């Protein structure tokens, strides 16, 4: 049992001021994995005080000092590789290969990228009539979801360190242990006391406390739109800046000249990677009407090449959903889908032989209308929808007919058409033919997918205020 009941405040692991605890469940076994403290307002207050006290010196730390802390974190992170992989497989249910190649790798990528971005970053600029200074925004509250325990926390922490902003991190209660390892790594990296704090607890107490706290200047949140709206409302009371990353319902536009197998693989990997619990997942697949039959056959034939099951078993690429709640949500969408569209494969219930664990059947719907519930709402599970189009402009129009705009995908050959679609989809990130991810590429959404950008130099900018100095004497 992982019973880790302390919070990390002002450079120390300290007892919670309240007796309440939260159980963390292993989604593959449905057994209790461990417990964390359900932090109190008093715990949060201590963390905010520590961060506030650290702010004056920390915000004036040099670029070289911050680069050194980030480099130390990279070293510490690499040294804890096996533990990080192990814990994410336990708390999230991510298959070992996914915990390694996706989760471990992404967390590391953000710290390494921050070293690079910071090395090239300029905090002051002579703009002729004035000097522009970029200064730490103050104390930041970081609220992270469960679907990428290291990725989400690392991009926020790395950018905040690069900007000299002290933070209070509240990890998701379902997956807190990887974040607690991150705290241990940061503790050993020489980051000043109070510059990094971690308080575990519920969204309603610690999350809500962060968004409404008068002494926190900025909240960076990733999670559901429902909570994002609450955070924005709370933040309005103290005119706090917010950055929100709230998910999506991203389109995959398959061109007439696309290789059908390649397109089908893209569609499948979008719902099988991390069991479809990915904010940027492409879950509306737009295919030309003429490709319908061959695409449907190919996607069904290829689905078994993405094996799902016990995340500790070799060769498995898709594990269970994170929780019973998430499983119930996914089931209710599949039920809706069965009424709205044609079920091609999958359906409700647990897959045979996987009765224990929050496993859902990979499910593909076809004959889907873009205005149906399953094509408009984020399901966050291994479920996708196939929508046919008559001509490309029709496809682009439907791709943009969504309240979301986080990501988009285009698969095909003709460079001009690929460029046209990439620039026509109203989303913050587009992937052409499954291109590799660049950690310096800004990540964030248009429309209701959120506000602000993370990753690389754009991520650092979020934690900075802009000051213009007129008449600055030269040094």
104 torsion bin: left (phi>0), alpha (psi -120 to 50), beta (else)? alpha
Residue corresponding to tokens 């690429």: 317
CB of residue 270 to ligand TAP, shortest distance in Å = 14
**H/E element holding 140?**
strand 140-143
Residue corresponding to tokens 């991203």: 250
Residue corresponding to tokens 């490309």: 392
Radius of gyration for the alpha carbons in the chain, expressed in angstroms and rounded: 23
CB of residue 381 to ligand TAP, shortest distance in Å = 8
**Catalytic hit among 20, 116, 125, 279:** 279
Question: Could you give the 3-state DSSP secondary structure of residue 463?
Answer: coil
**Catalytic hit among 20, 45, 83, 245:** 245
Of 173 and 298, which CB lies nearer to ligand TAP in the complex structure?
Answer: 173
Which listed residue (40, 165, 220, 222) binds ligand TAP by CB under 6 A? Answer: 222
Of 16 and 326, which CB lies nearer to ligand TAP in the complex structure?
Answer: 326
378 binding ligand TAP? (CB under 6 A): yes
Stretch that binds ligand TAP, among 53-61, 167-175, 254-262, 427-435 (CB under 6 A): 167-175
Give the C-alpha separation, 182 to 187, whole Å: 9
Closest Cα to residue 302, out of 325, 269, 351?
A: 269
382 binding ligand TAP? (CB under 6 A): no
204 binding ligand TAP? (CB under 6 A): yes
Of 118 and 330, which CB lies nearer to ligand TAP in the complex structure?
Answer: 330
Contact characters 113-152, ligand TAP, x per CB under 6 A: ------------------------------xxxxx-----
429 binding ligand TAP? (CB under 6 A): no
Contact characters 316-345, ligand TAP, x per CB under 6 A: ----------x--x----------------
Give the C-alpha separation, 171 to 206, whole Å: 10
Stretch that binds ligand TAP, among 39-47, 220-228, 268-276, 427-435 (CB under 6 A): 220-228
Order the strands of the 131-136 sheet from edge to edge: 124-126, 131-136, 464-469
**Residue 148 contacts residue 110 (beta carbons within 8 Å):** no
- Show the DSSP H helices in 105-148 as ranges: 105-119
Tokens of 62: 């040099």
Judged by CB under 6 A, the chain residues 169 through 198 that form the site for ligand TAP are 170, 172-174
Closest Cα to residue 260, out of 305, 304, 300, 308?
A: 300
Question: Could you give the 3-state DSSP secondary structure of residue 412?
Answer: coil
**Residue 38 contacts residue 202 (beta carbons within 8 Å):** yes
Q: How many residues bind ligand TAP (CB under 6 A)?
A: 29
Of 202 and 269, which CB lies nearer to ligand TAP in the complex structure?
Answer: 202
21 binding ligand TAP? (CB under 6 A): no
Which listed residue (194, 207, 276, 408) binds ligand TAP by CB under 6 A? Answer: 207
Per DSSP, 354 falls in state -
Give the C-alpha separation, 256 to 2, whole Å: 52
Give the C-alpha separation, 275 to 88, whole Å: 14
246 binding ligand TAP? (CB under 6 A): yes
448 binding ligand TAP? (CB under 6 A): no
Question: Could you give the 3-state DSSP secondary structure of residue 25?
Answer: strand
Of 202 and 440, which CB lies nearer to ligand TAP in the complex structure?
Answer: 202
Q: Can 279 be counted among the known catalytic residues? A: yes
8 binding ligand TAP? (CB under 6 A): no
Which residue ranges make up the site for ligand TAP (CB under 6 A)?
143-147, 170, 172-174, 202-204, 207-208, 211, 222-224, 227, 230-231, 245-247, 279, 326, 329, 378, 380
The catalytic residue positions are 245, 279
């Amino acid at each position: 049992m992982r019973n880790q009941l302390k919070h990390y405040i002002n450079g120390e692991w300290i007892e919670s001021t309240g007796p309440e605890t939260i159980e963390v469940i292993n989604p593959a076994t449905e057994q209790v994995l461990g417990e964390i403290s359900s932090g109190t307002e008093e715990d949060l207050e201590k963390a905010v005080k520590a961060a506030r006290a650290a702010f004056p010196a920390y915000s004036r730390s040099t670029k070289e000092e911050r680069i050194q802390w980030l480099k130390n974190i990279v070293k510490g992170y690499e040294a804890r590789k096996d533990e990080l992989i192990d814990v994410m497989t336990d708390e999230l249910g991510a298959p070992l290969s996914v915990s390694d190649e996706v989760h471990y790798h992404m967390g590391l990528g953000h710290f390494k990228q921050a070293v690079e971005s910071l090395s090239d970053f300029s905090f002051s600029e002579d703009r002729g009539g004035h000097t522009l200074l970029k200064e730490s925004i103050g104390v930041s509250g970081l609220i992270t979801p469960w679907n990428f325990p290291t990725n989400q926390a690392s991009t926020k922490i790395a950018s905040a360190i690069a900007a000299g902003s002290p933070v209070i991190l509240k990890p998701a209660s379902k997956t807190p242990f990887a974040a607690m390892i991150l705290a241990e790594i940061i503790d050993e990296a020489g980051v000043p006391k109070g510059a990094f704090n971690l308080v575990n607890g519920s969204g309603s107490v610690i999350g809500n406390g962060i968004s409404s706290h008068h002494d926190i200047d900025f909240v960076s949140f990733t999670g559901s739109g429902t909570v994002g709206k609450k955070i924005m409302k709370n933040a309005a009371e103290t005119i706090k800046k917010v950055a929100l990353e709230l998910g999506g319902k991203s389109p995959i536009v398959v061109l007439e000249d696309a290789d059908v197998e390649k397109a089908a693989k893209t569609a499948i990997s979008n719902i099988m990677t991390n069991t479809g619990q990915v904010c940027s997942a492409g879950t509306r697949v737009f295919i030309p009407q003429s490709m319908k039959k061959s695409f449907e056959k190919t996607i069904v034939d290829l689905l078994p090449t993405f094996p799902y099951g016990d995340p500790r078993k070799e060769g498995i690429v898709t594990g269970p959903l994170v929780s019973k709640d998430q499983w119930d949500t996914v089931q209710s969408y599949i039920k809706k889908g069965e009424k709205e569209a044609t079920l091609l494969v999958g359906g409700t219930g647990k897959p045979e032989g996987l009765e224990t664990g929050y496993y859902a059947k990979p499910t593909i719907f076809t004959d889907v209308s873009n205005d149906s519930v399953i094509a408009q709402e984020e399901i966050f599970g291994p479920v996708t929808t196939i929508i046919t189009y008559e001509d490309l402009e029709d496809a682009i129009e439907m791709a943009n007919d969504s309240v979301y705009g986080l990501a988009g995908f285009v698969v095909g050959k003709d460079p001009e058409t690929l460029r046209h679609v990439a620039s026509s989809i109203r989303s913050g990130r587009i992937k052409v033919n499954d291109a590799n991810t660049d950690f310096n590429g800004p990540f964030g959404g248009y429309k209701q997918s959120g506000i602000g950008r993370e990753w690389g130099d754009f991520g650092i900018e979020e934690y900075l205020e802009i000051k213009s100095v007129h008449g600055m004497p030269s040094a």
